[in-house]
Amino acid sequence: MEKDLVIGIDVGGQTSKCGVVDARGTVLAQTVIRSDDTDQVEPFIASLADALNKIIADAGAEGRIRGIGVGVPNGNYYTGEVENAVNLKWGNHGTIAFADMLHKAMNGIPVKLTNDANAAAMGEMTYGAARGMKNFIMITLGTGVGSGIVIGGEVVYGHDGFAGELGHTCAVRHNGRPCNCGKTGCLETYASATGVARTAREWLDITDEPSLLRSLDNITSKDVFEAAKEGDKLALKIFEFTGRILGEKFADFIEFSAPEAIVLFGGLARAKAFLTEPIQKAMDANVLPLWRGKVKLVYSQLKESDAAILGASALAWEV
């Protein structure tokens, strides 16, 4: 039987999305499992294998899976390992031979992995807003801030497989927020979904400004987004602040690789109505005139549920 299908897996801090994909990029069957209900990788791998076997059966794909591609935080394309993934409950235990473990759990199906943002970049380059582009930067705004850098049509991995950790570049130099990575002031602590929620909680404590957010416990970025849609002034200021920080950092990123575009993807990117203007304004104010007005700011054209699955699946065709 011809092995004409692959599997793509997007491992996130809270959930993992899995799909069976054909050569045209059609997701034939997919499912979602929790990533955060265990602090040990072995039970997660077991749950993941169970989920994959189910969608293989749902798609009628038994015996047809050529390979499995995985996008995972701190995934090393060269080694197949996950190293000190601080945003994964089970990932902060040194080096994990993730690809080898999943390969064995799936009875020998080949497995390749990469950083989750690199996988999203591959999906966008193949199927989405970056089609036809050879030079762009993918920014994923989710639990953390991830990035995939594409130069000359190739994802940049660096000598050790970990190039492109733009979310851990410093956004606030003095008195910055502590980050899970051990540094302070990282972009991720301000411009991720958790960073937006943290800004909201901090500002509610230091201001008396009326806000719909004051009636809420355990504020999330979605709460801030919903308040902004209602015209809440504090929520709008939070997105202005977040967009400014992103725009300032994007100016630095442009000067590094001169991309054609910066592509935004992830849950927080849904707030584009409130983020685009402050990002663009800060980006133009801080980039060299050489690039001002040349770099497009675009948002993913793919369904969030499919984009990283498709990107990760592209790895599987290489096996």
At residue 305, the pLDDT reads 65
Among 128, 151, 147, 129, which residue's Cα sits nearest to residue 138? 147
pLDDT of residue 301: 83
In terms of residue numbers, what domain contains 294?
A: 132-301
Cα distance between residue 43 and residue 199, in whole Å:
34
CA-to-CA distance for 18 and 9, rounded, in angstroms?
4
Q: Is residue 127 part of a domain?
A: no
Give how many domains the chain has, as a whole number. 2
Q: Return the pLDDT at 266.
A: 87
Asked if residue 264 belongs to a domain, the reply is yes
Cα(32)–Cα(40) distance, integer angstroms: 19
**Among candidates 285, 283, 307, which has minimal Cα distance to 295?**
283
Q: CA-CA distance, 118 to 147, in Å (whole number)? A: 7
- Whether 44 is in a domain gets the answer yes
Distance CA 68, CA 98 (A): 12
Residue from 89, 69, 264 nearest 166 by CA: 264
Residues 168 and 286 in one domain: yes
What is the identity of the amino acid at 58? Answer: D
Whether 178 and 297 share a structural domain? yes
Question: Does 12 share its domain with 111?
Answer: yes
* Coil, helix or strand at residue 143: coil
Three-class SS string for 200-233?
Answer: HHHHHHHCCCCCHHHHCCCCCHHHHHHHHHCCCH
Is 50 domain-assigned?
yes
Residues 6+ apart with CB under 8 A from 254: 262, 283, 287, 291, 295
Same domain, 184 and 292: yes
Q: CA geometry: angle at 130 spanning 29 and 20, to 5°?
A: 10
3-state secondary structure 52-116: HHHHHHHCCCCCCEEEEEEECCCECCCCCCEECCCCCCCCCCCEECHHHHHHHHCCCCCEEEECH
With a CB cutoff of 8 Å and minimum separation 6, the contacts of 118 are: 71, 77, 138, 148, 155, 157, 164, 311
Asked if residue 311 is part of any domain, the answer here is: yes
Together in a domain, 239 and 94: no
User: For residue 126, is it within any domain?
Assistant: no
Check which CATH number belongs to the domain holding 191 and give it: 3.30.420.40
Residues 176, 268, single domain; the answer is yes
Distances from the Cα of 231 to the Cα of 120, 210, 228, angstroms: 32, 12, 5
Task: Count CB atoms within 10 A of the CB of residue 250.
Answer: 26
CB 69 within 8 A of CB 316: yes
Indicate whether 278 and 309 sit together in one domain. Answer: no
Judge if 294 and 309 occupy the same domain.
Answer: no
Does 18 lie in the same domain as 148? no
Query: For residue 77, what are its two tokens?
Result: 């394309």
Domain check: are 148 and 189 in the same one? yes
Measured at the CA of 135, the angle between CA 134 and CA 138, to 5 degrees, comes to 115
Residues 6+ apart with CB under 8 A from 294: none
Q: What is the pLDDT along the chain (319 residues), one digit of tens a residue?
A: 688 999 999 998 889 999 999 988 899 999 999 999 999 999 999 999 999 999 999 999 999 999 999 999 889 999 999 998 888 999 988 899 999 999 999 999 999 999 888 988 988 888 789 999 999 999 999 888 999 999 999 999 999 998 999 999 999 999 999 998 899 999 999 999 999 999 999 999 999 999 999 999 999 999 999 999 999 999 999 999 999 999 999 999 999 999 999 999 888 999 999 999 999 999 999 999 999 999 999 999 887 667 778 989 988 988 8
Enter the pTM of the model: 0.86
- Cα(169)–Cα(178) distance, integer angstroms: 13
Whether 25 and 42 map to the same domain: the answer is yes
For residues 293 and 175, state if they share a domain.
yes
Q: How far is CA 187 from CA 79, 151, 178, 194, 288, in A?
A: 27, 22, 11, 11, 21
Q: How many CB atoms lie within 10 A of CB 288?
A: 9
